[in-house]
Every structure is written in structure tokens, then in C-alpha cells.
Chains A and B, each alone.
Chain A
């Protein structure tokens, strides 16, 4: 069977844009292009068979309301001129140059999947993990389904004071009953059900007035069934707000202040610690303790003031960066694809027909909707350039005539996977039970679309 779209020949004179990445910023870029009033068709390529990116694999399972944004993505996918190619990796299955020959413009919406490392001794010990890997695992990301997290230790340390650190802490802090009716991956629920983790330390380098927490997410720690938040000031004599604080940090500080005077009664604790710099992870053959140095803002670590925390688990959550792509300019310092307003740029010189949006453009910050404004800015530049960009040499459907892409998931196939996930979650009272194996996704999607070899 040939790709369905090849039967409907494109009207000449239409622009063709490829979006690489099926997460929020990719969808918002597609929306902005398709709403522009210009004659633009959009093909979205997603490495995984299924869409939504971090809305599916990043947003925590106990935040179902946020996931409702997927309905917006489904509406965008229904717009005339949109096609989805799931399970097609650009750079492996299809080369960037092959793609360039078929589209006027490429928009990279590839996110920030690379975890920043602590770069301290012992980081490679068993029991030391990247927070991002844990998040991907409990969210059923296919690439992380084989990860093993031994949760038999009673104490865990999380390094980093952002919302990902809060997600990891909260999932560890919740009881199985609090997670049972979410869309958490079955393998993760099983492992968390027998977790012995009782004390979770959230360690930050800076003070309580300089966290990256959102007050709203922090507040959730006051409502856990079997865990209390504890704020240990240890030298930060007061929780005063410093001048020039932005409102979000101010609100987070107010919540921490509230936690610092709360009575503690539950079995599990989440302990917030400040002003501590990771020096190393120690242990015989596996993680046994975290070594930290007390520090103050912009002051070098003072080796005479060491604090150690016994623990069997360490999660590093100090940020993420875009994955370098061959031939695409990369800003090492910022961990993004070098760009000017979303136009990819090498050494300050704009590259013809190549664009970027979302986290790969500006780094991992903001809420889901921040990507909308971000993608709109990029698309404004795409639209301004379109008439000056090279005409594609070939039709995109030629990409699927070779052997490089044997099959892909289109949006109707995703609809079948989606419906099946919802159906199989129902008996367990879950909003869905995700498929975690790509072959199973293809099987449920009736094989997806099989290309002619």
C-alpha cells in the first residue's frame, strides 16, 4: 500500500514545511503555519510512534488536567494540510538532506532530551540516576521501559530545585493508592508499590528565595497522604524575600515559609535543603551517601563545611540541553540550537530554510503555553522568508518509496492506539494504560501505514 496522501496530489504553488518533533512546540508551530492564511502544508515527523512529546512523557501522571492540552494538539492535527509521521526518526531513517530536498523549510522542535551531568566523582555508581530518565520511565517512554530503579533504600537525594525535582520527589513520596488511578506506566506502579523510600532530600545550591519551583507544584506537598514537607534552613536564618524577586519565586518562598512551621506527622518526609553544593557520591559498589559542601551565593565551596547524607538513591535534576544534530549549529554554552529569533544561525549568520522552536530554541523553561508564543515567533520568520526559500526538488511522498521508512503511524493509526490505551486502562480505573513497546503500538494501530518497498 502506498502512503495515503500520495493519492491526493498536491496543488502546485503550495509551500511545504517539515516539523521535526511531535511535542507541544511542534504542534504550535504547525498551528501557526496552517492558520497563517498562506498556502502551506505541514508534515510532522516524530521519532516515536505516538505524538505529544513531553505532554505524554514528561508531565507527571498525577497531573491529568495538564494533559488535557492534548485535545488542542488533536484539533491542530485535524487542520487541512497537516500530516503526522510517527515512528520516523530524522537523522537515521531519513537524512536531513533528504528532507531538505522535499520541503521549503525545516523546523526543528526536538526539545532538550539530554540531562546535564553533576560531574562529580561517583556519578556512575549504581543507584545514581538522571531525574529525566526516572520521569521517562514512570511515564512509559519506550526507550526507558527497561530501566531498573531499585527503590529498596530508605533515603533518596534529589539534586536540583526545579519542577522536575518536585515531580520525582512527589512520585517517590506518594503511596501506591495515590498513583493507582493515574496513567502511570504499569511497570513503574509495580516498582513504586514496593518502594521503601521514606525520606527524600531535595537539595539546592542556592537559597530558598532562589528556587525554580512553581508555588503551585510546591503546594502539592502539603496534601500528600503519607508524606510531610520539611524545610531545613540550616544557616539560612530567615526565609526573607530579597529585593528584585520575581513573583513566581516570591510565591514559592511563601510556600516554603509555610512548610517551615508545619507540624510533621506522616511516615514519609520530603526535606528541602538549601545552599549545598554536590561534591561527590560515595559507596562500596553502589550509592551509599551523598557528600555536599555548604555554600553561599557566589561563594566558592568551603571544604571545611561538609555535610553527608546517607542514601541509596541519587537523582540529578540540574537541567537539560538540546541534543546536537549533525550539520545543525549548536550553542554549547546554552545547550540549544544556535538561532536568531528561531532562524538557525551559525556564527551569527542565518541559515537558509532551517528553523527551531521550543526547548531546542530557548532551553528548558516555561510552561506548556510558553512554547506557543515561542513557536509563533519562529513561524512569523518562516512566513516572512517563504517566498525567498528554495523550491523543493522532490515531492515528500518520494521519501516513503525507498526502504528507509518501511512503515509509520499516521494520525488515524494514533487514534486507534489512543482508544485502545483508554480501553485497557478502564478495568484498573486508570485513564489509560500506555503501550510502551513500539511494535505493540504498530500492532494496535493496524500496522500503521505500510510503505511500498
Chain B
């Protein structure tokens, strides 16, 4: 039961998840991060760390997000590992406020 980054991640790049991942299983592209399901040890530490709540347990995804299980697997294989926190994208804080208000 690995954890999965959903499309809610796209647009802020806080990468708090990366700093608390014990096994460095986060990958990244220009849009968002992805969890490598082969390396993830299911600790769940990244879930509360994400400021916008983009990370979910695979078995708890709503039906319209289930596709992200496969997307994480595929994109993690195609993208580099990210090992430390990156500066957030411009507009990240406004986006976060909008998501939390929702």
C-alpha cells in the first residue's frame, strides 16, 4: 500500500515531502513530485508534511484519482530522484491559501 502524489501537487513545489522521506523515494519533474512505489516503505510521514494535502494512501484514493497510482509508478521511473528541498514556485502560497479555504 504505497502512498501516491496526486495532481493537487502541481503548482507549488514546497517539497516538504522530500525532506521527511526516510528512503528518498520522491522523484520530480517540472510539474510535480512522484513517489516510487518500489522504494516507498509506507511510513506515511509525507502525508501530514504536504502543505496542500496532495499525498494520499493508494487504497484511500477517490475513484477519479486512482489513475495517479499508475502515473506515480511510471513517472518515478522516468524522472530523477530529488533529495533535498527546493524553493517553492512563485504563487505557491496564494495557491495553498486557496486550497485550504476550499
Residues of B at the A interface (CB closer than 8 Å) are: 19-24, 41-48, 53, 57, 84
Closest B residue by C-beta to A55 = B22
Assuming the A-B contacts A367-B20, A369-B22, A373-B20, are A69 and B48 also in contact, with contact meaning beta carbons closer than 8 angstroms in the complex? no
What are 19 A-B contacts defined by CB distance under 8 Å? A24-B22, A66-B41, A66-B42, A66-B43, A72-B23, A72-B24, A216-B57, A247-B47, A247-B48, A366-B20, A367-B45, A368-B43, A369-B23, A369-B43, A369-B45, A369-B46, A372-B20, A372-B21, A376-B19
Interface centre among A71, A214, A367 (most CB of B within 10 A): A367
CB neighbours (8 Å) of B20 from chain A are 366-367, 369-370, 372-373
Contact assessment for A72 and B22 in the assembled complex, using a CB-CB cutoff below 8 Å = yes
CB neighbours (8 Å) of A69 from chain B are 22-23, 41, 43
CB neighbours (8 Å) of A71 from chain B are 23
Contact assessment for A68 and B23 in the assembled complex, using a CB-CB cutoff below 8 Å = yes
CB neighbours (8 Å) of A9 from chain B are none
Closest A residue by C-beta to B16 = A373
CB neighbours (8 Å) of A376 from chain B are 19, 84
Contact assessment for B23 and A247 in the assembled complex, using a CB-CB cutoff below 8 Å = no
Closest B residue by C-beta to A371 = B22
Contact assessment for A373 and B44 in the assembled complex, using a CB-CB cutoff below 8 Å = no
Instruction: Kindly state the separation between the CA atoms of A162 and B69 in the bound complex, as whole angstroms.
Output: 30
Instruction: Kindly state the separation between the CA atoms of A369 and B42 in the bound complex, as whole angstroms.
Output: 11
CB neighbours (8 Å) of B24 from chain A are 72
Closest A residue by C-beta to B3 = A216
Contact assessment for A367 and B22 in the assembled complex, using a CB-CB cutoff below 8 Å = yes
Closest A residue by C-beta to B22 = A369
Counting CB contacts under 8 A, is A349 at the interface? no
Q: Which residue in A65, A246, A248, A373 is a CB contact (below 8 Å) of B41?
A: A65
Contact assessment for A214 and B44 in the assembled complex, using a CB-CB cutoff below 8 Å = yes
Instruction: Kindly state the separation between the CA atoms of A368 and B42 in the bound complex, as whole angstroms.
Output: 11
Interface centre among B43, B53, B84 (most CB of A within 10 A): B43
Interface of chain B, helix or strand or loop or mixed?
loop
Contact assessment for A370 and B42 in the assembled complex, using a CB-CB cutoff below 8 Å = no
Contact assessment for A367 and B84 in the assembled complex, using a CB-CB cutoff below 8 Å = no
Tally of contact residues, A, Cβ under 8 A? 21
Closest A residue by C-beta to B17 = A369
Instruction: Kindly state the separation between the CA atoms of A216 and B84 in the bound complex, as whole angstroms.
Output: 26
CB neighbours (8 Å) of B42 from chain A are 65-66, 216
Interface centre among B46, B47, B53 (most CB of A within 10 A): B47
CB neighbours (8 Å) of A366 from chain B are 20, 45
CB neighbours (8 Å) of A370 from chain B are 20, 45
Interface string of A201-216 (1 = CB under 8 A from B): 0000000000000101
Interface centre among B22, B42, B44, B45 (most CB of A within 10 A): B22
Instruction: Kindly state the separation between the CA atoms of A189 and B45 in the bound complex, as whole angstroms.
Output: 30
Residues of A276-317 at the interface with B, using a CB-CB cut-off of 8 Å, are none
CB neighbours (8 Å) of A65 from chain B are 41-42
Interface string of A46-80 (1 = CB under 8 A from B): 00000000000000000001101101100000000
Assuming the A-B contacts A247-B48, A248-B48, A366-B45, are A373 and B19 also in contact, with contact meaning beta carbons closer than 8 angstroms in the complex? yes
- Closest chain B CB from A58 CB (angstroms): 13
Beyond the given A369-B21, A369-B45, A370-B20, could you list 9 further A-B residue pairs with CB under 8 A, ordered by the A residue number?
A66-B42, A68-B23, A214-B44, A216-B44, A246-B48, A247-B53, A367-B22, A370-B45, A372-B22
Closest A residue by C-beta to B83 = A35
Instruction: Kindly state the separation between the CA atoms of A71 and B39 in the bound complex, as whole angstroms.
Output: 10
- Closest chain B CB from A183 CB (angstroms): 15
Closest A residue by C-beta to B46 = A369
Instruction: Kindly state the separation between the CA atoms of A33 and B57 in the bound complex, as whole angstroms.
Output: 32
Instruction: Kindly state the separation between the CA atoms of A247 and B43 in the bound complex, as whole angstroms.
Output: 16
Contact assessment for B19 and A367 in the assembled complex, using a CB-CB cutoff below 8 Å = no
CB neighbours (8 Å) of B22 from chain A are 24, 69, 72, 367-369, 371-372
Instruction: Kindly state the separation between the CA atoms of A66 and B46 in the bound complex, as whole angstroms.
Output: 14
Residues of A362-416 at the interface with B, using a CB-CB cut-off of 8 Å, are 366-373, 376
Instruction: Kindly state the separation between the CA atoms of A371 and B84 in the bound complex, as whole angstroms.
Output: 14
- Closest chain B CB from A59 CB (angstroms): 10
Instruction: Kindly state the separation between the CA atoms of A72 and B81 in the bound complex, as whole angstroms.
Output: 14
CB neighbours (8 Å) of B41 from chain A are 65-66, 68-69
- Closest chain A CB from B47 CB (angstroms): 8
Contact assessment for A367 and B53 in the assembled complex, using a CB-CB cutoff below 8 Å = no
CB neighbours (8 Å) of B43 from chain A are 66, 69, 367-369
